Amino acid sequence: MAIGMTYLQRWPHAPRNTLLLIDRHGQPVLKYAKVHTCDFSLEALLTPGDDFPVCELDTVAGPVLVGAMICYDREFPESARILMLNGAEIILVPNACDMNDIRLRQLSIRAFENMVGVAMTNYSGPGWGRSAAYHPCIFTEAGQVVDPTVVEADESEGIWIVEFDLEQLRRYRERETWGNAYRKPRTYQALVNETVKPPYARDDARRY
């Protein structure tokens, strides 16, 4: 069993919203600080993270490559994309906000377009909850369409068991057309242009 927990990590000037993943041997194997802090809210007081690390998590079924994104990170497709490029097979998503159908579809799409498993956990309560997990496989090897939903919980508190077939996921990544198979990175320079023009310019937005 591995345990992921979020906490306010001590950091120069201001703390960071951080996830720590501890493996079944009791060793910390992944520390990720939230990159996309909610600068329009209280998280403007925090220090944003600056990368999307991936770790090799030892499990009884063998090693699996794991990354994480925290809450608002999931609103940006670049978060999951970079984790995929860094090798992630499973992405953990601790969440702390209301959860609606649009946000659930976002997570399902992040799994699909990057060919990764996604597991999100959220605080329970009215309008909240709805912890969910999605695998990327939408076709079987025989070409049959399958539902990528592994679990979608309700708003109540509970423990939800999720199973990812890693061998199926790896075979899928080797044969299908998404993920990093046919990207054209040389055409994506605009993604790293830090100039922000109206209507997206915000006085409180930090680009670091």
Q: Which domains does the chain have, with CATH numbers?
A: 3-183 (3.60.110.10)
Q: What are the C-alpha distances in Å from 84 to residues 99, 123, 153, 166, 173?
A: 24, 26, 25, 15, 11
**Partners of 65 in beta bridges:** 56
- Residue 4's pLDDT is 97
Q: Note the pTM of the prediction, 2 decimals.
A: 0.95
- CA pair distance 154, 46, nearest whole angstrom: 31
- Residue 143's pLDDT is 84
What is the full per-residue pLDDT of the chain (208 aa) written as tens digits?
Answer: 999 999 999 999 999 999 999 999 999 999 999 999 999 999 999 999 999 999 999 999 899 999 999 999 999 999 999 999 999 999 999 999 999 999 999 999 999 999 999 999 999 999 999 999 999 999 888 888 999 999 999 999 999 999 999 999 999 999 999 999 999 999 999 999 999 999 999 999 988 7
- Residue 85's pLDDT is 98
- Residue 182's pLDDT is 97
Contact indicator for 117, 111 with CB cutoff of 8 Å: yes
- Residue 141's pLDDT is 82
